[in-house]
Amino acid sequence: IYSILATEDLKGYLLVEAPNRGAVEDLIRKTFKVKGIVPGESTIEELDHLLSPHKIIDSIDKGNIVELISGPFKGERARVMRVDKHKEEITLELIDAAVPIPVTVGVEQVKIISKSS
């Protein structure tokens, strides 16, 4: 096995670089919770969008629903009120809070639950 790639864009799938299918079959026999193989080959051009970094801030818009994944409000859901692309911070309003208090956090502390329409 030369390399294994797991990305958020392909949840539930691993891309495996190997000299032949037999090497991949040996790997999955020894790996827990692997269900099978989707056979095929990919070119580096097809995988380029998975390998190149993209800024999270570009995918967050005002009105999106996010979940805080770190910090004192971990696990809370919130609505995006403002996006500061220069500082890479967003201002949120907690959904389940009794009093709406604006909270400003870094974009690395949230995960998008749903996009605003």
Residue ranges of domains in the chain, CATH in brackets = 3-51 (no CATH), 56-114 (2.30.30.30)
Q: Tell me the average pLDDT across 53-68.
A: 85
Average the pLDDT over each of 18-32, 45-59, 89-103 and give the range with the smallest value: 45-59
- What amino acid is encoded at 31 in this protein? T
- Tell whether the model's pLDDT for residue 82 goes beyond 90: yes
pLDDT at 81: 94
pLDDT at 98: 87
Averaged pLDDT score across all residues of the chain: 87
Q: Work out the pLDDT band at 97, boundaries 50, 70, 90.
A: confident
> Are the C-beta atoms of 14 and 5 separated by less than 8 Å?
yes
**∠ CA 102-95-99, rounded to 5°:** 55
- What's the rounded Cα separation, in Å, for the pair 116 and 12? 26
Does the pLDDT of residue 117 top 70, yes or no? no
Do 113 and 65 form a contact (C-beta atoms < 8 A)?
yes
CA-closest candidate to residue 83, choices 49, 55, 46, 42:
55
